[in-house]
Amino acid sequence: MSDIYKAPEAELAGEGGTSDSGSLEKGIAGDYSFSIGEAISEGWQLSKGKKRTVWFAIILYVIAIAAISFVAGLLTGYPAFDPVEAGNASLSSTIIYNLITAIVGVPLVVGMMMVGIKIARKEETSGTEVFAHFDKIVPLCVTYIIMSILMGIGFLLLVIPGIYLAVAYMMALPLVIDQNLGPWKALEASRKAITKNWFAFLGFFIVLLLIYIAGGLALLIGLIWAIPLASIAYGVAYRKVFGGPQGA
């Protein structure tokens, strides 16, 4: 028999979720809590048992990029795997080659980001996540192009505006997939949310960079731990700000 005087228990997090997940609305409003130390610490804890998943995704990503580069090289005549000859390649072949690799590469990059995000939310994922988002290739590429143009203009304007946008847009691409936002809405959602704690995210960006560098300096062996840690820590940061998909 149930106790009618017992206070109802609130469900703090749904299956696969966590109690400190944000939401799109809360993120944009700045109604979230973010700590660099907590993100790194939780990323380290969640990486236990998930390194294989992250590394499988990385291997698939590298193979895919190599294949794309090979095909793009054949189509454009650009010597993708010969640095000496690449320096002598025509301007048109270089531009077209870089355009092809960038366009096809963006969904792969976002797939890698989503691996870390899903692990951080304790959702099911696998290395094949890197291939899962080609259905959004158009909005992803438009987002990437707009972001690159605005950041480029920012760096031309005394550098500081470019640094601001580079940090502010760090969650824009996953928002296209995860929250089903259009390019400009994703860019603005990321910018507005991160601007509320911009210096904390700048510090977070620097810490992730230092983790990669430290892993590389340790005879590259350290990357076995560094890359999954950084990937999942980014996912933790995303979850704290934006939570899960709308309606989830």
What percentage of the chain has pLDDT greater than the value 70?
91
- Give the span between the Cα atoms of 63 and 158, in whole angstroms: 38
Q: 0.85 cut: is pTM over it? A: yes
More confident site: 91 or 35:
35
Answer yes or no: is pLDDT of 236 > 80: yes
- Give the span between the Cα atoms of 65 and 101, in whole angstroms: 8
29 residue type, one letter: A
- Residue 8 domain-assigned? no
What distances in angstroms separate CA 54 from CA 109, 127, 151, 210, 229, one per listed residue? Answer: 13, 6, 29, 19, 9
Q: Give the pLDDT score at 189.
A: 97
Share the mean pLDDT of the chain.
89
Q: Give the pLDDT score at 19.
A: 59
Q: Give the pLDDT score at 18.
A: 56
- Residue 57 domain-assigned? yes
- Residue 4 domain-assigned? no
> The domain containing residue 82 runs over which residues?
33-242
Answer yes or no: is pLDDT of 22 > 90: no
Q: Over range 207-223, report the average pLDDT.
A: 87
Q: Over range 126-153, report the average pLDDT.
A: 95
H-only helix segments in the chain: 24-29, 36-47, 51-76, 83-86, 91-120, 137-156, 160-168, 172-178, 183-195, 198-217, 223-242
Answer yes or no: is pLDDT of 227 > 60: yes
Answer yes or no: is pLDDT of 5 > 90: no
- Residue 116 domain-assigned? yes
More confident site: 15 or 184:
184
What percentage of the chain has pLDDT greater than the value 90?
73
> What is the token pair recorded at 23?
């939401």
Report how many domains make up the chain: 1
Q: Give the pLDDT score at 96.
A: 92
Residue in 105, 63, 48 with CA at minimum distance from that of residue 224? 48
47-72 pLDDT per residue, tens:
999 999 999 999 999 999 999 999 99
Answer yes or no: is pLDDT of 3 > 50: no
- Residue 13 domain-assigned? no
84-120 pLDDT per residue, tens:
787 788 888 889 999 999 999 999 999 999 999 999 9
**Angle in degrees, 0-180, between the axes of helices 91-120 and 223-242, rounded to the nearest 10:** 70
Q: Give the pLDDT score at 7.
A: 38
Of 4-18, 101-115, 141-155, 179-193, minimum mean pLDDT range = 4-18
More confident site: 168 or 92:
168
